[in-house]
Structure 1
Amino acid sequence: MPSPEWTYKHATDLRDHWWWRPGWQVGTRFYTWHITFDGQHELHRLVDTYQAELARHPGLDLIPHQWLHLTMQGVGHAADITTDQIDSLLSAAQARLAALNPVTVEFHRPVIRPEAIVLPALPPAEVDRIRTAVRASIADVLGPDAVPDQADGFQPHVTLAYSSSAQSADTIESAIESISSEPVEVSIPTASLIELHRDNRMYEWHTIAEVPIDSQANGAL
């Protein structure tokens, strides 16, 4: 099966990523499921390779290692979710994620999207297995109609840099295409339920729990 277009086709122009989405403002806190990458040193080295070049280009906000993430599945605003519901969401996710086989993906060449430069996770279907299980766990607890976002159209990626201005992507495309790199395989042992904010023009969070994927995976609630 050919790779989907979003994994290789560059956008021609960039726009500012940091506009406020509906329901968001300074102080907003949001529960969401992410894949995070603490200790993934090979991925960090790949990120550093490209960020060293991206740092030469104005209007890009580079993502530090500690905030590298793969956005997976929202849950809801913290003000709308109770502590008991969080406990139930974690129990439901633990049961569903433990039933999955281990997940490994590859990261290699960046792609310019309209608001960011990203590393696609390949094959996307591997991360989609995790997301499908997480979505089912949200439906178990909050009901099918309370699961945010659409089930299809998921584009799993790790962002290297967000655009903070409107600009042409031409010079950035030339720069990243000139870099030689080797693909990196990353195993994904856990999915993280986090409380997220973007008060500082950066996605920052604290982790509620890391839930193991596959019954043999290392991780803890």
Structure 2
Amino acid sequence: MKNHWAREEPWPPGRRLWALYVTCGSTPPLVAHATAFQESLSGMRGLDLVEPRWLHMTVLGVAFVDEVDQRGMTRLLDRASTLVAAVPPIDMVAAAPRARTDAVWMSVSTTPSIGPLREDLAETVRTCLGREPHALPLPRTGFQPHISIAYANADPPRAQEVDERLGAVDLPPTPFRASHLSLLRLRREDARWSWDGEERIPFGGSAMP
């Protein structure tokens, strides 16, 4: 594995990025599934485990907060809300995690597929902000729905060692439902992805508390 945090792009402390996520910290079945596998990695060097409240599925990067104006973001939120409202709540299934290039993550299948919505949201970014969506890290094969439970740091373990520990956990894939998409201000600090200013956008037929 290699260091997830060693990236060429400058991202100083305090800088925020608008992003679209499925946030998962308030989804008990998914949190329990992730935690069981994280416990098998406890004490292993070279991994930064993701706290339950920061569990997420990345959908799309948007733009750094300091590079766009609020008027454009208001237009984007309005159009995104219309797009998301046209999609029913998405049923998801999280598989067992495996060590990848720079993280440990669970593949997620989605019904309906979230891919078409992602493409529509990317076009909305281009229309409302006049720019390409910010490119957040993706698997080498391109966009693939997934949820990370740990990131490799400067002293990464061998992938085989990680997978041996994960393989000792006998759990079936875990189903859960996404009732909303979130527009949020993402930050990369203290060896973790975290956020503030979360604006939840309900899928069609979902009620937000």
| TM score, norm. by length of structure 2 | 0.89
Q: Is the 8 A contact 2:38 2:49 kept in 1?
A: yes
Q: Percent of counterpart pairs with the same letter? A: 23
CA distance in 2, matches of 1:91, 1:21: 33
Q: In the alignment, which of 53, 59, 72 is matched to residue 85 of structure 1?
A: 72
Aligned counterpart, 1:218? 207
Number of residues of Structure 1 aligned to a counterpart in Structure 2:
204
CA distance in 1, matches of 2:196, 2:145: 21
Q: How does 1:118-133 map to 2 (within 5 A)?
A: 118-123=105-110, 126-133=113-120
In structure 1, stretches of 5+ residues that fail to align are: 1-13
Aligned counterpart, 1:146? 132
SS of residue paired to 1:122: strand
Q: Is the 8 A contact 1:30 1:78 kept in 2?
A: yes
CA distance in 2, matches of 1:146, 1:169: 34
What CA RMSD, in Å, does the superposition of the two structures yield over aligned residues? 2.0
Q: How does 1:100-111 map to 2 (within 5 A)?
A: 100-111=87-98
Aligned counterpart, 2:102? 115
Q: Is the 8 A contact 1:124 1:156 kept in 2?
A: no
Q: Does 1:28 align with 2:15?
A: yes
Write out per-residue CA displacement over residues 10-39 of structure 1, whole angstroms, 9 at most, x where no aligned residue.
xxxx11111144132222211111110132
CA distance in 1, matches of 2:148, 2:111: 15
Q: Is the 8 A contact 1:93 1:137 kept in 2?
A: yes
1:177/1:125 Cα in 2 relative to 1: closer, same or farther (>3 Å)? farther
SS of residue paired to 2:161: helix
CA distance in 2, matches of 1:147, 1:153: 15
Residue 121 of structure 1: how far off its partner (Å): 0.8
1:118/1:94 Cα in 2 relative to 1: closer, same or farther (>3 Å)? same
Q: Is the 8 A contact 1:124 1:155 kept in 2?
A: no
Aligned counterpart, 1:7? none
CA distance in 2, matches of 1:147, 1:39: 27
1:186/1:130 Cα in 2 relative to 1: closer, same or farther (>3 Å)? farther
CA distance in 2, matches of 1:125, 1:101: 8
